[in-house]
Amino acid sequence: MQDVLGPRTTLGYCTNVHAGTTLDAIRAQLDRHAVRVKRQVSPHAPMGVGLWFSADAAREAVATGAAPALRDWLQERGLRPYTLNGFPYGDFHQPVVKDAVYQPHWADPRRTAYTRDLITLLAGLLPEGPGGTGTEGSISTLPLGWPAHVGGELDRDPDFTAAAAKQLTGLVHHLARTELDTGHLIHLDLEPEPGCLLQTSADVVDFFERHLLGTADDLSVRAYLRVCHDVCHSAVMFEGQPQAVRTYRDAGLSIGKVQLSSALAVDFDALTPDQAAAARTELQAFAEPRYLHQTSIRRDDGQTEFFVDLSDALAARGDRPVGEWRVHFHVPLHRAALGTLGTTRDDVPRLLAALPPRGDVHHFEVETYAWGVLPDGSGAQDALARGLAAELDWVRAGAGA
């Protein structure tokens, strides 16, 4: 949907919620779900779709020159590609994903090869702008890697950091060449996430300033390497949305893409003993085996504990839980609560209000990929399109559209 969140903006949803690691499976899922979502939220105009391709599917699409036919196929259905999720490399819907989603990391040449395929694919999918001009595309990507996969904290292994920075800056030149050849400005957007090497806006800025900037290529780096700001991720880290936007702005970094998402939240200190017991039981149901659900607990003294997974937090602090818990579980945006559990969806309007009024950020997508593992079953396949449409309608209503 165009211009819903400001001039030249596109709003859609991220299709990594749908299983499928081949081109045929991706088309089938889009036909089954995305077309139905479009009928509900944008029956008379194209609807944005944030596409996800596994590494195998992206390689197949590039090798077979599939982009033009896929672009036409999407256009026939009123689906407008504008952004890709380049984070999950393999099967994002296998029974157990957990920290495998962070592999390969950014020092691994496979990550660069995958991302180059995505750039080529997106350049072939983007529609022309007015008067035959190029249009803007974005690709979100992982925040370097997961600490356990690279030997610990960032800079503990200088070879890893140098290799990751070299691969990213190498893609700057590839993106610049792509714009010259196709007219499409495509930027690669690092997406900070709880527990990763880059968790917060401050981490991203530090990495840029220490490892990517400071050369004659600074203008190109800032143009083609940007940030994907996921609202849920900031909320889990107890990072205020205006604070994150200000941190990027003050460092001269651009937000290339915003993922509109909501985390689970429960303040046990505000509950009665009976309410706390009920909330703990309900929270336990979200400790499912497929995805990693990083959890932060802020105590009344202002200190925060971090746990790699919700199951770890429950095992360590679950008998008599205290403090405010925030869980990296992307829950439906239109739902203010799930049983006795709250959400952080109010951070979405806070984020939108904090963005620069001149409309520098053009790409927005709802990213609730965890519909299929919601314990109440509301993400059942026959109800999924209705749920996705409800999320987009909630965003649009909040924007006054």
pLDDT tens digit sequence for 91-125: 999 999 999 999 999 999 999 999 999 999 999 99
Q: Classify 223 as helix, strand or coil.
A: helix
Instruction: Identify whether 203 is part of a domain.
Output: yes
Instruction: Identify whether 365 is part of a domain.
Output: yes
Question: pLDDT tier at 379 (50, 70, 90 boundaries)?
Answer: confident
Q: Point out the domain boundary residue: 286, 304, 329.
A: 329
Question: pLDDT tier at 223 (50, 70, 90 boundaries)?
Answer: very high
126: phi then psi, degrees, rounded to nearest 5? -65, 135
CA distance 281 to 287: 11
Phi-psi region of 183 (alpha: psi -120 to 50; beta: other; left: phi over 0): left
pLDDT at residue number 398 = 86
Query: In this structure, are 250 and 273 located in the same domain?
Result: no
Percent of the chain with pLDDT over 70: 98
**Residue range 55-94, pLDDT digits in tens:** 999 999 999 999 999 999 999 999 999 999 999 999 999 9
Query: In this structure, are 69 and 218 located in the same domain?
Result: yes
Query: In this structure, are 285 and 357 located in the same domain?
Result: no
**Residue range 259-288, pLDDT digits in tens:** 999 999 999 999 999 999 999 999 999 999
Q: Tell me, rounded to whole angstroms, the distance of Cα 326 from its chain centroid.
A: 17
Question: pLDDT tier at 399 (50, 70, 90 boundaries)?
Answer: low
- Identify the domain containing residue 322 by its residue range: 264-329
| Assigned token pair, 134 | 């190029």
Q: Mean per-residue pLDDT for 213-237?
A: 96
Instruction: Identify whether 341 is part of a domain.
Output: no
Q: Mean per-residue pLDDT for 312-338?
A: 95
CA distance 167 to 49: 28
Query: In this structure, are 252 and 300 located in the same domain?
Result: no
Query: In this structure, are 65 and 75 located in the same domain?
Result: yes
pLDDT at residue number 60 = 96
Interior/surface letters 116-140, b for 16+ CB within 10 angstroms, e for the rest: bbbbbbbbbbbeeeeeeebbbbbbb
CA distance 378 to 263: 16
| Assigned token pair, 217 | 């290529």
| Structural domain total, the chain | 2
| Assigned token pair, 374 | 């919601």
Least confident of 143-152, 195-204, 281-290, 373-382: 373-382
Query: In this structure, are 229 and 155 located in the same domain?
Result: yes
Q: Point out the domain boundary residue: 329, 358, 386.
A: 329
Judge contact between 42 and 1, C-beta under 8 A.
yes
307: phi then psi, degrees, rounded to nearest 5? -125, 140
Query: In this structure, are 157 and 275 located in the same domain?
Result: no
Instruction: Identify whether 337 is part of a domain.
Output: no
Q: Classify 314 as helix, strand or coil.
A: helix
Q: Is the dihedral of CA 66, 72, 227, 389 positive or negative?
A: negative
Query: In this structure, are 149 and 83 located in the same domain?
Result: yes
- Does 362 score more than 60 pLDDT? yes
Q: CATH number, domain at 103?
A: 3.20.20.150
pLDDT at residue number 152 = 78
Q: How far is CA 142 from CA 194, 264, 381, in A?
A: 11, 22, 28
Q: Classify 345 as helix, strand or coil.
A: coil
Query: In this structure, are 201 and 272 located in the same domain?
Result: no
Question: pLDDT tier at 15 (50, 70, 90 boundaries)?
Answer: very high
pLDDT at residue number 309 = 98
CA angle centred on 68, ends 65 and 74, rounded to 5°: 130
Q: Mean per-residue pLDDT for 200-217?
A: 95
Question: pLDDT tier at 319 (50, 70, 90 boundaries)?
Answer: confident
Amino acid identity, position 214: G
- Does 318 score more than 60 pLDDT? yes
Instruction: Identify whether 335 is part of a domain.
Output: no
Q: Point out the domain boundary residue: 301, 329, 357.
A: 329
Instruction: Identify whether 334 is part of a domain.
Output: no
Instruction: Identify whether 340 is part of a domain.
Output: no
86: phi then psi, degrees, rounded to nearest 5? -100, 25
Query: In this structure, are 223 and 287 located in the same domain?
Result: no
Q: Mean per-residue pLDDT for 222-249?
A: 98
Query: In this structure, are 390 and 283 located in the same domain?
Result: no
Query: In this structure, are 102 and 113 located in the same domain?
Result: yes
Indicate the pTM of the whole model: 0.96
Amino acid identity, position 84: L
- Does 400 score more than 70 pLDDT? no
pLDDT mean across residues, the chain: 94
Q: How far is CA 234 from CA 99, 143, 230, 242, 286, in A?
A: 19, 13, 7, 10, 20
CA atoms within a 13 Å half-sphere pointing along the CA-CB vector of 325: 30
pLDDT at residue number 381 = 82
- Does 226 score more than 60 pLDDT? yes
Instruction: Identify whether 3 is part of a domain.
Output: no
